[in-house]
Structure 1
Amino acid sequence: MTKRFFKYLILNVINTLFILNLCGEKLDLRFGYFHFFHPEVNIYTETHFNVYGKSISAIKNESGDYTGSVLITMTFYKDGQVIQGDKIRITLPEVSDLDFYDRGFTAKSQFRLPPGINILALEIMDENNASESYHFELTIDVPNAEDFKVSDLMLIAGIPDNISGNLSKNDFIPYIASNTYLYDNRVKEILFYLEFYDLPVDDEKELPFFVNYYLESFNGNFPMEKFSGRVKIKNTGLHPVFAKIDISSLPSGIYNLVVEAINRKNELYAGKKIRIERISDVEPASVSLDLLEKFTLENTIVPVETLKDSVKDYLLYMMPIVTYSEQKIIDRLLAEGDVEMMMKYFNSYWITKASSGKYWQEYYDRVKIANSNYGTRLIKGFRTDRGRVFCLYGPPTIIESRKHEPNTYPYEIWQYDRLIAYNGSTTQSDRIFIFADREINTGTYRLIHSNAMGENFNERWQYLLMERDMWTPNVDDVDLPAQAGDWGNRFNNSIIINPSKFGRYNRW
């Protein structure tokens, strides 16, 4: 296990493979893993932690300098049995100026795990702040060595300042994100790394092998020659590929980064594809030129006449699941008012989604339920907080509705055993959403707290529910304000949050 600190070189990421993003004023720690191959150890799993220094509680030591640390306990399970584990401590260096911690600190480990589904349990604790203690579990699916032709694709967030000479995989700091790999207008290039293994050759005429890499439009899969490259590699052993693509002139939008190994006959051996999002000052001359010029309406997923009448509404219905760049495209299409372009974009979006098992009719059914159940007199259901969550994540496992508590605003608690976003972000386990109708009798339940990644986390959510019955709350107090003895009040004993003195999940 290695530890080092670095200054972020090219990215200010918001949230990859998997992330524990405990943001706000809380611990900002991110975790990702990648599979690689080595002939002596077979497939191994490389794990990466990245924590923002200023989110760690720093205290002065005896010498008067600041320091702090995060302790991470990793335990791997297979078929209910512990198979491996590790403890990692990321320690802040001793400094007199807290601004030195305005950077990321990393730790890396490697594990040889059996093929198939493995469970990783993570215990994370800020050692100077007992309240910053978390438990997470996630599945890691390890591929079989016989079918392993190419490693995971690692996008690179930075390289430490003190590296000299030739670079190796161990020098790279991976880019870890939750939903989308976001590149804003300050980033001028995409750096990436992956490995190919033992390319088979039956005919010498197939040699040499090439690796093509390029960006393609996400909605339509059209390769973009301006953002591409090629390298030649040998056909035996391990073949590392470290490359970059200049994106200084790349317009805002959603793209795929594609990396493929092909032989001389242009036959595909193996490859990887990953979605990125670009937010840039460079705008395409027209949405149609960038995404839609090659798209037709010959095979629409909705009858053309129906789509003509409803496409504006359909595009708005997609807002809960689209990315920031996709929102910009939809806003632009609606402003331009070109119905044919709207129809093309709608079809291109959902045809692309269908390849990953996401279908318009399935999503539209969610929207209709949201509009029916969560709308108000002024707002359609899909635009409300409950409607957005329902459209994005689907129906919760449990809904606990508290409309008549004596000391609180009306509120609902939604709990998901497995949280799977319709936009393809990371699967999460055991997540809650708390909605409150603080405007009373309007039915406008707003999200006041969630422990899901990327959602509104507020450890003082209880106070938001109790404010109408409290005159002078202590702004520093995060303990539960309601008293268990309050007549008629089940605030401290909800089915989801705290059904016993230990809590349903022993951590609420």
Structure 2
Amino acid sequence: MTRWLWLILLLLGIGFKANALNAVLSHSIFYMSAADSHTPYAEVYWQIEPESIVFKELSAGQFTGRIKTEVRLLSDTGVVASDRYILQTDPFPNVQAAQRQSIIELHRYKLPAGKILVQLYLSDLADPANTLSLTDSFTVEKMADKPMYSTIQMLDTSYTSVINSVFSKNNRQQIPLSANFLDKWRHTLHFYMELYNTTHLTKEDTPLIQTTYISKKERSSPIYDLKQTDTIRRGDVRPLLGSFDVSKLPTGNYYINAVLQSKDKQRLAEKSSFFQVVNELPEDTISNANMADSNFEKLNFVDLSTTFVGKFTLKQVMAILVMIRPIASAIERDAIDNFEVRPDDNYMRYFVYNFWKERNPKDPKKAWDAYTDKIKEVNKMFRGELYPGYQTDRGQVYLRYGKPNDIITVNNEQGVLPYEIWVYNALPEQSLGGLFLFYRPADYVSGYRLLHSNVRGELRNPSWRNYLYTVSGSSSGNTNARAEQYFSGNK
């Protein structure tokens, strides 16, 4: 097995065993210019691990693999593009040589704007039981009437060539990375993108300034001085090719970002792409590096199919991300929010595994199991509300801080909406404890919303009285309310 793809398969949680098809699937979105419009199209590509194919001697001294391939792209209205064919690998004089080849497929499909699901089915004709099914999902944006970037596509190989092939682009051969992953043998990040819709900009906007850089979080500050600034000419479609030396980056998650600005620094367009690095650097090199962002986490590369996350469906993984958000750190919440906008099955599974690995390095499943017990508990406690208990305000506070020391429930105060006060005598965020005020708005049949809290980092609403003391023309205040005893003054 090629060492690069072997690491990819481990990273993405795809279990490997001999004679079991293995592959990684990815995509990039570009726009084709025609008649004053730009039609979106996707490059869908995948790399197959050659050692997972059964090679047969189809002719004297020539060993070849044959893979039945079916690709389907679906929108909300049904199938928008599809392909069915037999992939035949290059012939080699023996199996060992055949297993060292690189097998990459790329197809381009015109697509409508909206959500797209890619389904890839592979079947080894030499072994009908040797099959693989992969999916990918993304959103195709409509071309805006302003400058816009394509996907930032990361490249495996790029060189000048007039040979015509599926990888031909702008008189070059450009073979994309099928997974945005750089192992310890790959020290340069090559990338390609396109910039659209700059012809309508005025001379006052030029010269256009493009900045590309590497960051730890999406669109945050550059790290390790990995930043490039160029001037860009106006044009309908501007192809942009570049590279970064990433040999200094320690193992971790990163983003490559592109920002287009006018001459007066007005931001016109931006784009980011996620990638991962495995790099065995000495600790002192890491600690002494000049970093603008120090939030570097250690990653554990494991076969996720053998862990507790391997059994979950995509829908279940997305639900788990919602479940763990109440106890996530600020950085983790940002990642979860990004997954909501751009869901990626493999990376989401990897995130969930490392989330619990961080909390219990020896037994992440034990930490997850303990948390699921809490989820079941809040679902029972707040069953009457419109959402699962873990999605309600009370449920999320309960998950975050545990059972309160006291709960004061008030349903019948004159001129006051029903409410609850949760009292915590001690909290990690503040030694004096804290209070939470939940209320039931007039349009709620059951359940409560968080109205105010004095806990650091939680909702702080100085105007909470304006919401609580509002019932069908009643007075706007009630000094005898129990809430006043706990939230006196501006507390």
Q: CA deviation at 1:11?
A: 5.2
Match of 2:25 among 9, 31, 52: 31
Q: Which residue of 1 aligns with 2:299?
A: 323
CA separation of 1:238 and 1:14: change in aligned 2, threshold 3 A: same
CA separation of 1:185 and 1:73: change in aligned 2, threshold 3 A: closer
Where 1:54 maps in the other structure, the secondary structure is: helix
Scaled by the length of structure 1, what TM-score is found?
Answer: 0.54
Structure 2: gaps spanning 5 or more residues: 302-327, 339-351, 377-491
Instruction: Verify: 1:149 aligned to 2:148, yes or no.
Output: yes
Question: Is contact 1:30-1:50 (8 Å) kept?
Answer: yes
CA separation of 1:294 and 1:227: change in aligned 2, threshold 3 A: closer
Q: CA deviation at 1:239?
A: 0.8
Higher CA-based Rg: 2
Distance in 2 separating the partners of 1:394 and 1:117: 35
Where 1:66 maps in the other structure, the secondary structure is: strand
Question: 1:474-489 maps to which residues of 2 (within 5 A)?
Answer: none
Question: Is contact 2:152-2:192 (8 Å) kept?
Answer: yes
Where 2:67 maps in the other structure, the secondary structure is: strand
Q: Which residue of 1 aligns with 2:128?
A: 130
Instruction: Verify: 1:384 aligned to 2:384, yes or no.
Output: no
Question: Is contact 1:220-1:352 (8 Å) kept?
Answer: no
Q: CA deviation at 1:130?
A: 0.7
CA root-mean-square deviation: 4.4
Question: C-alpha offsets along residues 471-502 of structure 1, whole Å, 9 cap, x if unaligned?
Answer: xxxxxxxxxxxxxxxxxxxxxxxxxxxxxxxx
* 1:86 partner amino acid: D
Q: CA deviation at 1:144?
A: 1.3
Question: 1:88-487 maps to which residues of 2 (within 5 A)?
Answer: 88-101=85-98, 102-146=100-144, 149-159=148-158, 168=170, 171-177=173-179, 181-199=180-198, 203-218=202-217, 221-224=220-223, 226-283=225-282, 285=284, 290=289, 323-324=299-300, 350-357=329-336, 383-384=362-363, 386-387=365-366
Q: CA deviation at 1:203?
A: 4.3
Question: 1:38-49 maps to which residues of 2 (within 5 A)?
Answer: 38-40=32-34, 42-49=39-46
CA separation of 1:225 and 1:66: change in aligned 2, threshold 3 A: closer
Scaled by the length of structure 2, what TM-score is found?
Answer: 0.55
Question: Is contact 2:73-2:80 (8 Å) kept?
Answer: yes
Q: Which residue of 1 aligns with 2:51?
A: 54
Q: Which residue of 2 aligns with 1:463?
A: none
Where 1:214 maps in the other structure, the secondary structure is: strand
Give aligned-pair identity as a percent. 13
Question: C-alpha offsets along residues 35-64 of structure 1, whole Å, 9 cap, x if unaligned?
Answer: 100122611111112112222110112424
CA separation of 1:234 and 1:51: change in aligned 2, threshold 3 A: same
Q: CA deviation at 1:136?
A: 4.3
Question: Is contact 1:157-1:173 (8 Å) kept?
Answer: yes
Distance in 1 separating the partners of 2:244 and 2:26: 23
Q: CA deviation at 1:90?
A: 2.4
Where 1:205 maps in the other structure, the secondary structure is: helix
Q: CA deviation at 1:282?
A: 3.5
Report how many residues are paired. Answer: 325
Distance in 1 separating the partners of 2:334 and 2:360: 28
Where 2:122 maps in the other structure, the secondary structure is: strand
